[in-house]
Amino acid sequence: MRAPECHGRIRLVQCDPNASFRELLAMVVEADERFDFVRGAGNFGEALELCRLCEPEVLLVDPVAGGNEWGWQDLHEGLEGLERPPALLIHSLADGPGLITEWLQCEPAGWVHKEEGFTVLRAAMETIARGGIFRCPKFAQCCRALTGGEAQRGHPVLTLREQQVLRMIVKAYSSKQIAMELRISVRTVETHRANIMTKFEVHDVVSLVRLAMGFNSEAA
């Protein structure tokens, strides 16, 4: 999920269960003239309401902040219902395979591990606010943790949607064609492409297709 491209100061809403960290991030962001820190929220419900009222370009969220009444899917569905949904940037220490798989289903535009510094975080916020996709170096390591037994055969584990997109990439479909076929946005297709390439640890489509042909032949 990504917001329309931003050309002014980037408005940011943060959702994190740690009040001290919310205060620290507010200080860091407010000192940077590129950003406008709207407010921090302690749970998904507060964050969604802030996004509805303030229309930020970026929602920086730790998915463990849901609380008892809100799940990750609830937040995702709430954001999808907004007229101007923000770009979703995951910022968390949690990196268990099950959690990451669940989070990736919501197609975040960015993912930054909390072990990364504020320089990486600022770069991520600026990239996704301008319509790009950002994956921190730690992300590739965490993706490898998803593979389990598949890693022993050299195959990453893909979500069902990623498998659908990958099959179409191998058939030389463009992002626009894939979007039309799956009835999703072009930007969502691009997010899937980025996730797939990260999991395969490649940086160009030619290399991806070469590896994917073997993956698809066994997955079929």
Query: Please, what CATH class does the domain formed by 149-219 belong to?
Result: mainly alpha
Instruction: Please work out, in degrees rounded to the nearest 5, the angle formed at the alpha carbon of residue 177 by the alpha carbons of 171 and 182.
Output: 95
Answer yes or no: is pLDDT of 151 > 90: no
Burial 49-71 (b: 16+ CB within 10 A, else e): ebbeeebbbbbbbbbebbeeebe
Predicted confidence band at 144 (pLDDT cuts at 50, 70, 90)?
low
Q: Where do the domains of the chain lie?
A: 10-142, 149-219
Which among 89, 81, 127 is positioned nearest to 109, based on CA atoms? 89
Q: Please tell me which of 10-24, 68-82, 189-203 the model is most confident about, judged by mean pLDDT.
A: 10-24
The DSSP code for 148 is T
* pLDDT at residue 68 in the model: 53
The DSSP code for 64 is G
**Mean pLDDT for all residues in the chain:** 80
Read off the pTM.
Answer: 0.68
Predicted confidence band at 208 (pLDDT cuts at 50, 70, 90)?
confident
Q: By three-state DSSP, how is residue 66 classified?
A: coil
Instruction: Please work out, in degrees rounded to the nearest 5, the angle formed at the alpha carbon of residue 160 by the alpha carbons of 125 and 136.
Output: 25
The 3-class secondary structure across 192-205, one letter per residue, is HHHHHHHHHCCCCH
Query: Please, what CATH class does the domain formed by 10-142 belong to?
Result: alpha beta
Domains 10-142 and 149-219 share a fold: no
Angle between helices 97-104 and 137-145 (to 10 degrees): 110
CA torsion angle 175 97 133 52 (round to 10): 100
